[in-house]
Structure 1
Amino acid sequence: MSVLDPADPAVDPAVDRRVLLADGSPVDIRPLDRRDGPALVRLHRELPEHDRWLRFATLSPHAADTYAVEAAASGTVWGAFLGAELIGAVQVAPDAAHPEDAEVAVTVGHRVQAHGVGTALLERAVQESTRRGVRRWSAEVLTENTAMRRVFADLGLPVTRELDGPSVHVVVTLPDPEDPAAAADFATASLARAAHAARAGLGAVLRPRSVAVVGAGRRPGSVGRAVLDAVLAGGFTGRVHVVHPHAARVAGVPAVASVDLLPEAPDLAILATPPATLPALVAACGERGVRAVLVITSGLAAAGVDGAVLEAVHRHGMRLVGPNCLGLVDTAPDVRLDATFAPGAAPSGSVGVVTQSGGVAIAVLEALRGLGLGVSTLVSVGDRYDVSSNDLLAWWSEDSATRVAVLHVESFGNPRAFSRLARRVSARIPVLAVRAASSEVGARAAASHTAASATPAVRRDALYRQAGVQPVDDLGELAGALAALSWSAPALGDRVAVLGNAGGTNVLAADACVAAGLRVPPLAPATRARLDALLPSTAATAGPVDTTATADATTFAACLDVLREAAEVDAVLTVACPTALGDPGTGLGAALARSPGRAVPVVAVALDQRARVAPLRDPDGTPRAAVFADPADAVRALAHLVRRGADVARDPGRPLPADEHPVDLALARSVVAGALDAHPGGGWLEPDDCAALLQAAGLDLLPARVVRSIDEAVATARAIDGPVALKVVAEGVLHKSEQGGVALSLRGDAAVRAAAAGFVTAFGDAWRGFLVQPMAPPGVEMLVGVAGDPDFGALVTAGVGGTGTDVADRRWHRLVPMTTTDLSELLDELPLRRGIAARLVDRERLGTVIARVARLAELLPQIAEMDLNPVVCTPDACRLVDARIRVAPVIGGRAP
């Protein structure tokens, strides 16, 4: 089988087929076959002589034709298509004698050179080659072909060059799937290229020089007319055109009867016409040279036109926002594009918003307007046929006008790309995500404890955590988080000082902090002394600080100054309760205008405030903090400041070191291949196969033997020095202890025989045998597991194990690939610091088990479910007592 053979069922041409070039143009990359021979011949024939010389070291068109016909039939070529036109091709021809080596060659049409076609093709070839076990490419490049040499050099992979007469022999070392750290440079370079391409591709969407509105009525009342009115009222700096079949002017703008009559090819066409009209209309836009379309219309799938619309978009290389969306906004002074039918003009500001729901987009706009904040860019992606949250993340990664990003994502098209882009953005600005409802269907039927807990919501939250995204549960929390993050610096720790003038509300605020995972520690003696000097003797200064109701605004503000200067304080929560003596919160704005020398954020509560959240302004009117009516809302916002501070300070870590956690990939693949050969649809591994697969990752199950008779069970137990565990092997029985199939601490022949006979009787026709093990030393029982996913990747789970797994329901999760920081944080979350676990669990040993499981899951996507339960932890070891592993075939390079 060839490296890039489209006949191979493991190659799914539809997976990530569409990519963006460096200039943002979308192209489709797919494997070529014999039917593409004429297109490949045409690509080579149309090369100018100099290009043909650089590619083939010959000027003969016949030689190029012969190569093209043979290459297309070889199944080793992938092509890049702009619409229906083949604009580039890459061939990766394996060395029959050395399957880890392959020769690579790239051809790019002259018209599209320097647009990133060659790089896009090579990136796809890297993915396919590494998946097929190719480790090195070689290429012969003429010394004068500096462009191709630069393409190889810029891939982010190790490259060696050796001069060989008129050419350079180039050798490229491909990423080693067994060593994620070795692929870091390529991944970084690839992400940077993808982000740049996505930004370029959105230029026509967010920074158009001209727009055309199709579907705006002559009189107000239609969605199309509302969008046109918004574009005009917003003061769009570009040129506006209208297409209307009957009107000469609409809203004062000259109109033409059809797209082909437009005086210029607009960058962006806004379409608000019935679904049945869209296929022809989108095609007409493409033929006119429109670069992007914004489709407001809904109901395309119900009308059966969605496929035709997408085909037209792809054929003409356009970007598509929508359909079924509210529209988009860019408030940059040199753009001022408000192309939505939202009520009122979009407020200008520094918040970037992407949402699938038009209603959520309107709610966010209203919340920002109420806070005096606004948007830099807003895109309602609707049914997300093309432009998605990933594109907007790429845009914001380098957009200085955006200081906070907001996402409302109901589903993920490419969660792994989302994770990489979100990490890139969150390193620069806060990223907030409104949690959308996640169906739990699918996890209910899972047979393993791990898979049962791997709900869509769990996967989503793990994705957000590792990507530095801060989830919010409702629009009220979103508004509070936006206010706090817009007007306050991140907190550099989780130590909160509570300052108030009423003891009861102080206690409520402190309790809310603790419930949110924040600390309210006692204040240092020096800090208390300064507070005592300001307050009456009846005040409480140990923390929370109760100034008493007699404290005036000046005293209250002075206490705030003291707390902001205290080394043991990372953030301050103030709770001001107005009394007949006055409102102590009135001096906070002036106090916040004074710098304490440390970036200590403040979140305020004004119990008489009518608005849920508002700006706390200094005497000049500048917002200095967020002030809330409810202490619970204030604490949630404060938690976001703490989380943001932790994210900024967080070391992302490095990939789990392959040398510390080696995997015998040949052995592991052999075990999985054998199981799938026996059961092509997948299934649960036999105990011996479980042990062998874990052994490939350097993990040893407690010795066990499977026997098929009562006498064998007795004889095997007799040979073990000490008590034994007897477990049933029965058809359909996975959770043996829960189904009465485990007997522990058996001593002597009689005890073993009685337990075995009981299993035979209890399980009847399902009984297949027994598993006999020595008893593990007593210790803390943990669970480590894996739940595979074709989109998100494998989810690694760790938590409380043993028979109390489901009762405790205490599990923590990370997606692979995990970094050293992910592992450390996961271990921090486990309940290992108190009680018996603090004495018996060796953190490093447990971490090794989790890391090796994560590496195994990363390298073998065929692992659909895994439970290591219990993992018995003692100070000297972590012993794997029982294992259940289910494998499934991989389709299109991904596990189902």
Structure 2
Amino acid sequence: MTSRPPHPDDPAGNVGDRSATAPGGTPGGTATAAAARDPSVPAVPGDGTAAVPADDAPAASRRPGDLASLPALYPAPIPQDGLEAGRVLLRDGTAATLRPGRDSDRPLVAEFLRRVSDHSLMRRFFAGESREAAVESLLQVGSPEDRYTLLVLVGDPEHPRIVASGTYVREEREPDTAEVAFLVEDAYQGRGLGTLLLERLALIAARHGIRRFVAWTQPDNRRMLEVFRASGFAIERHHRDGYVVVSLDVQPSPESVERSEMRDRIATVASLRPLFRPRGVAVVGASRDPASIGYRILEALVMNRFAGPVYPVNPKADVVGSIPAYPSVLDIPGPVDLAVIAVPRDAVLDVVDQCGAKGVRGLVVITAGFAETGAEGRALQERLVAKVRGYGMRMVGPNCLGLINTAPDVRMNASFSPVFPPHGRVAMSSQSGALGLAILEYARDLGLGLSTFVSVGNKADVSGNDLIQYWEEDEDTDLILLYLESFGNPRRFARLARRVGRRKPILAVKAGRTAAGTKAAGSHTAALAASDTAVEALFRQAGVIRADTLEDMFDIAALLANQPLPAGPRVAVVTNAGGPGILATDALAAAGLEVPEPSPATREALRRFLPPAASLANPIDMIASATADHYRQTLRAVLADPGFDAALVIFIPVGLADVDGVAAAVREAVAEARQAGHQKPVAACFMSARGLRQPLAVGEERIPSYRFPESAARALAKAYEYARWRQRPLGRIPAHPDLDVAAARAVCRQARERGGGWLSAEEVTRVLAAFGLPVVPSRMARSEEEAVAAAEALGYPVAVKLASRTLVHKTEWDGVQLNLPDAGAVRAACRRIAERLEAAGRRHELDGFVVQPMVTGGTELVVGVSDDPLFGPLIAFGLGGIHVEVLKDVVFRITPLTDLDADEMIRSIRGYRLLEGYRGHPPADVDAIKDVLLRVSRLVEEIPEIAELDINPLKAFEPGRGCRILDARIKVEGGENGER
């Protein structure tokens, strides 16, 4: 709670706030734009080439320099809900609602001030002004360019109450500085609200060109001084006129980002703990009908020996299932942390009110009929969520199966699943309740132990992102499985998965890969499914292991949950039949793994005990007569061979083969290897009905057994792919020092204010040049004579191109005239373009002509960006010309790109060998291409008004000669939609 002390120009002492952006030569820019982005604007389809012209283009391609020597940017944390509005979590896990202040909030602000103590008001306003006068000072409503107030509200949404406010106001004398001030109701102090408001205001202010916050506080206001100190922002303190003046740079730093994520993680875990480890559970809607869902939930809790009290709630029954029942949650005598609600839809909101009054912390709403049913259901779900947040609760569902915690000290089946899976170290979330029933049964049959299982249903509150954070800290969970049909906040998912995946693998099946599947998923969940291209890019960057089917997911999970990760790609195949060995070899090679020969020492060891007909190559075919001892000795030898990183053991019973003996031999060989320190994964394939797909136990370790070798090969490949990702450095986002973000933003905002659309040729060049992108020297001409003058200034031969903000596909209008050797050719080219448009009745759409020097040589590339409605900017890279049009040799990633992302993009295209130099084709300047990708990524992150960007072609020359942009186009969203 700070504010500037009173002075003649400001008797109230409440100047307000305004926040700052990125330091280090980045005028008006901010590295936090990614967090501020609200990806809710539909992508705009389009293709083709666009004009890239202008007089102020760089005269030469810019050299990227050493990217590693540049300072790094640290993207700010991404809130689960919107930056400026949505759910927030207090330090103790209590939920609240954040939103901007409005003029209509004056009565609420007045009530808020009446509840605040005189001491707290004095901390905030210094001068001790009346509560009535303080209303206007506190509620700074206006454009976020100049002043902004955020409020935190709790309570019934129809009668909310404000418990905290934060404000910034831009300084008139220092436009890049804003004063910031906070006020928190006494009962809510010490619960993290001041820090939360500081973080959000800093992100919002930075987006509007503010670089620095200043706050005045009293020297003994230790709590507020601690808020600034613990924020992680770089701060300076000095004393002035008896007060402490705190100045902080709002640019995210490693420390501020780490502390913010830690606080968010602590709050999220605290908020979900009552769901997973409740002191008491109420089943609201517990019926005496054994066929009802309410009865089945009650029975599941009791029969699986939940370690706490269970309270049936039924206003029409005194006893349910031999347990005393209560007419309402309010009548339950003991504490209730979790309420499982299985009542008719129209009764749910009343039950939530009862739970709120009782002090329940978590809800599982089984009831369906909400957002998945249409507009009426969505409206009801919004009311439900508002009530849940108003009471500070968390909710799973609605329209869900429930949740399960198998921990021995909990044993909670708060679902209507008849299956209680064995305890294990795998956590799973399913977006489909019906599928969840099958998943639980399948996991039980496989012997795959689960720590927790959650059916998230409509994900109205608790989402997969919340669960990932909970499982990150859960000591009982080593592997996370996700069945997804849609994303709520994919950018946050990517951020969390990238962090959590370094410690615990995340394995996902994403439904809706095809257009038909996407449509089905959307209707099933009432949520917009994302494009599969974006999903694939997100998973690859975030290290999420993607399974194509549920069966694949469990195959991979069986390996990840039970075996160490492979240190390399080399797999030994041990078999008693040649055919399956060949199939395994083919599958391993197709998946990118290697099947090398055993070392000479290993071959010599195998020769001592295997029959002469056995093959000592790889696969090692011990032939059909192989005994259990042959398996034990062979597997022991390959696990000791340093030339192998993993082993795949295949067994086909022949005649009266000893299946149990072979299984025991495999166990013994693995046990011996572990004792010798050989930590290599082992997968088995017992192609028999007996013991099919049952794990082989080696103490607490299990060796997964697959029905077919291809399944085992795919699992090993996915495990190796994940191991490689985990060993990969995190990557950096270079902070280019030569960006003029303010100049580019001004161009795009002017375009947005006039209604958006494609930028003119001059505007495109100004935007690209502001971000240091290597635009080829160009001149804009309004007439034939101006075009000739431009050509003579640039030097022949030249290219003349159509310039138009509406006709973006220039080639359709003969709008690209190349290799023009003299003035006559230039005049003729301009005339052809104009006559072509005149004939089509579109001469008025001609803005002029772009004149460029002819650029020869180099490799044509394409770089593009489209704005996915959920994922935000999706950046594409590939070879240009026929390669992009016919061969579709393009890769995609989600911004912001790190240096490693950019490098991987370049190396991932099929035509990368051309960039290296292939059969006389000159190599390309890969470092310069990488620099272009990173600058484009930064451009679309910093300027959220950009809906589409195409650079085609980008010419890449030999190493050391850089790149040149020959053509580009940029589309800007109009009106408010530009503020994503």
| TM-score of the superposed pair, with normalisation by structure 2 | 0.82
Q: 1:541 to 1:455 in 2, by over 3 A?
A: farther
**2:400 aligns to what?**
325
Is it true that 1:402 corresponds to 2:477 in the alignment?
yes
Task: Specify the code of the residue in structure 1 equivalent to 2:165.
Answer: A
Deviation for aligned residue 1:663 = 1.9
* Offset, 1:540: 4.1
Secondary structure of 2:317 counterpart:
coil
Q: Which amino acid in structure 1 is aligned with residue 92 of structure 2?
A: D
Q: What does residue range 22-421 of structure 1 map to in structure 2 within 5 Å?
A: 22-57=91-126, 60=128, 62-72=129-139, 74-75=141-142, 76-83=148-155, 84-164=160-240, 166-175=242-251, 182-264=252-334, 266-301=336-371, 302=373, 304=377, 305-421=380-496
Please tell me whether residue 809 in structure 1 is matched to residue 888 in structure 2.
yes
SS at match of 2:726: helix
- Cross-structure match for 1:685: 759
Aligned with 2:257: secondary structure? Answer: helix
243-252 vs 562-571, greater mean Cα deviation: 562-571
Is residue 697 from structure 1 mapped to residue 785 from structure 2 by the alignment? no
Q: After superposition, where does 1:822-861 map in structure 2 within 5 Å?
A: 822-831=901-910, 833-835=912-914, 837-838=916-917, 839-861=922-944
Q: State yes or no: 1:615 paired with 2:687.
A: no
Q: Is the 8 A contact 1:209 1:238 kept in 2?
A: yes
CA distance 1:108–1:730, shift in 2 (3 Å): closer
Question: For the aligned residues, what is the CA RMSD?
Answer: 3.2
Cα distance, 1:647–1:877 mapped onto 2, change above 3 Å? closer
Q: Pairwise mapping of residues 739-754 of structure 1 onto structure 2 (< 5 A)?
A: 741-745=815-819, 747=821
Cα gap change, 1:315 to 1:575, in 2 (>3 Å): same
What is the one-letter code of the residue matched to 1:816?
Answer: T
For 2:17 and 2:242, how far apart are their aligned partners in 1?
29
Offset at residue 527 of structure 1 (A): 4.7
- Per the TM alignment, residue 580 of structure 1 is displaced from its structure 2 partner at its CA by 4.3
Cα shift at 1:97: 1.6
Q: Give the stretch that moved more between structures: 430-439 or 231-240.
A: 430-439
Q: 1:597 to 1:71 in 2, by over 3 A?
A: same
Which amino acid is the alignment partner of residue 120 of structure 1?
L
- Which structure 2 segments of 5+ residues have no match? 1-14, 20-35, 39-80, 143-147, 520-528
1:878 to 946, 959, 963: 963
Q: Which has the higher contact order (CA 8 A, sep 6+)?
A: 2
Quick one: which of 713, 723, 728 aligns to 1:645? 723
SS at match of 2:704: strand
User: Which residue is equivalent to 2:632?
Assistant: 557
Shift of residue 483, structure 1, vs aligned partner: 0.4
After superposition, the C-alpha distances for 1:574-593 in whole angstroms (9 at most, x for unaligned) are: 33333348469542221111
Q: State the distance in 1 between where 2:267 and 2:978 align.
A: 25
For residues 140 and 729 of structure 1, the distance between their equivalents in structure 2, rounded to whole angstroms, comes to 54
Deviation at 1:725, TM superposition (A): 4.0
More off after superposition, 226-235 vs 698-707: 698-707
Shift of 1:481: 0.9
Q: In 2, distance between residues paired with 1:725 and 1:455?
A: 40
* Distance of 1:391 and 1:327 partners within structure 2: 16
Match of 2:972 in 1: 887
CA distance 1:432–1:507, change in 2 (3 Å):
same
Which residue in the other structure is 1:862 paired with?
945
Task: Provide the rounded CA distance (Å) in 1 between the counterparts of 2:282 and 2:748.
Answer: 56
Question: Residue 292 and residue 152 in structure 1: after superposition, are their counterparts in 2 closer, same or farther (change >3 A)?
Answer: same
Deviation at 1:333, TM superposition (A): 2.4
Query: Which residue number in structure 1 is paired with residue 703 of structure 2?
Result: 625
Q: CA deviation at 1:341?
A: 0.9
Give the Å deviation of 1:747. 4.7
Q: Is the contact made by 2:562 and 2:703 (CA closer than 8 Å) also made in structure 1? A: yes
- One-letter amino acid matched to 2:115: E
- Cα separation, 2, equivalents of 1:880 and 1:537: 66
What runs of 5+ residues in structure 1 fail to find an aligned partner? 176-181, 445-453
Once residues 826 and 103 of structure 2 are traced to their aligned partners in structure 1, the CA distance between those partners, rounded to angstroms, is 66
1:519 corresponds to: 594
What is the letter of the counterpart of residue 855 of structure 2?
A: A
* Distance change (3 Å), C-alpha of 1:373 and 1:10: closer
Q: Deviations over 1:713-758 (max 9, x none)?
A: 6775576655544544467543445776545445567766776666
Q: Give 2:683's aligned residue.
A: 603
Q: 1:641 to 1:835 in 2, by over 3 A?
A: same
Q: Is the 8 A contact 2:685 2:705 kept in 1?
A: yes
| Structure 1 residues 780 and 574: alpha-carbon distance in aligned structure 2, compared to 1, 3 A threshold | farther
Deviations 1:404-452 (A, max 9, x none): 11112222222222222222321221111111215659999xxxxxxxx
Distance in 2, matches of 1:626 and 1:253, equals: 43
Number of residue pairs aligned between Structure 1 and Structure 2: 869
Query: 2:780 and 2:691 mapped to 1: Cα distance?
Result: 68
Give 1:165 deviation, angstroms.
Answer: 6.2
Residues 709 and 558 of structure 1, relative CA distance in 2, 3 Å threshold: farther
Kept after mapping to 1: 8 A contact 2:757/2:973? yes
Q: Is the 8 A contact 2:265 2:470 kept in 1?
A: yes
Deviations 1:164-219 (A, max 9, x none): 465322111111xxxxxx53322222111111111111122111111111112112
Answer whether contact 2:16 2:180 (CA < 8 A) is retained: no
Contact 1:332 1:376 in 2 (8 A): yes
Distance in 2 separating the partners of 1:836 and 1:138: 50
- Per-residue CA deviation, residues 353-374 of structure 1 (Å, 9 max, x unaligned), is 1122112322221221012122
- Per the alignment, residue 451 of structure 1 pairs with none
Q: 1:498 to 1:750 in 2, by over 3 A?
A: farther
Q: Which residue does the alignment assign to 1:470?
A: 545
Bigger Cα displacement from structure 2, 545-554 vs 125-134: 545-554
In the alignment, the residues of structure 1 paired with residue 124 and residue 786 of structure 2 have an alpha-carbon distance, to the nearest angstrom, of 70
Does the aligned pair in 2 maintain the 1:137–1:174 contact within 8 Å? yes
Q: Which residue type is aligned with residue 253 of structure 1? A: I
Mapped to 1, the partners of 2:790 and 2:598 lie a distance apart of: 63
**Hey, what's the Cα distance between the residues in 1 that align with 2:324 and 2:905?**
62
* Aligned position for 1:636: 714
Give 1:695-844 correspondences, 5 Å limit. 695-707=769-781, 721=795, 723-729=797-803, 733-737=807-811, 741-745=815-819, 747=821, 759=833, 764-766=840-842, 768=846, 770-789=849-868, 791-831=870-910, 833-835=912-914, 837-838=916-917, 839-844=922-927
| Greater shift in the superposed pair: 104-113 or 813-822 | 813-822
Code of the residue aligned with 2:221 in structure 1: it is N
2:584–2:710 CA contact under 8 A, matched in 1:
yes
Greater CA drift, 519-528 or 78-87: 519-528
Q: Tell me, yes or no, if the aligned pair for 1:738 and 1:803 is still in contact at 8 Å.
A: no
What percent of counterpart residues are identical? Answer: 37
Equivalent residues of 1:210, 1:268 under 8 A apart: yes
Match of 2:23 in 1: none
CA contact (8 A) 1:606 1:629 kept: yes
Q: 1:506 to 1:833 in 2, by over 3 A?
A: farther
Aligned to 1:508: 583
Task: Give the aligned residue type for 2:731.
Answer: G
Q: 1:800 to 1:307 in 2, by over 3 A?
A: same
Match of 2:49 in 1: none
Alpha carbons of structure 1 residues 713 and 565: separation in structure 2 relative to 1, 3 Å: farther
Q: 1:239 to 1:871 in 2, by over 3 A?
A: same
- In the alignment, the residues of structure 2 paired with residue 256 and residue 133 of structure 1 have an alpha-carbon distance, to the nearest angstrom, of 58
Residue equivalent to 1:448: none
Query: Quick one: distance in 2 between partners of 1:564 and 1:10?
Result: 50
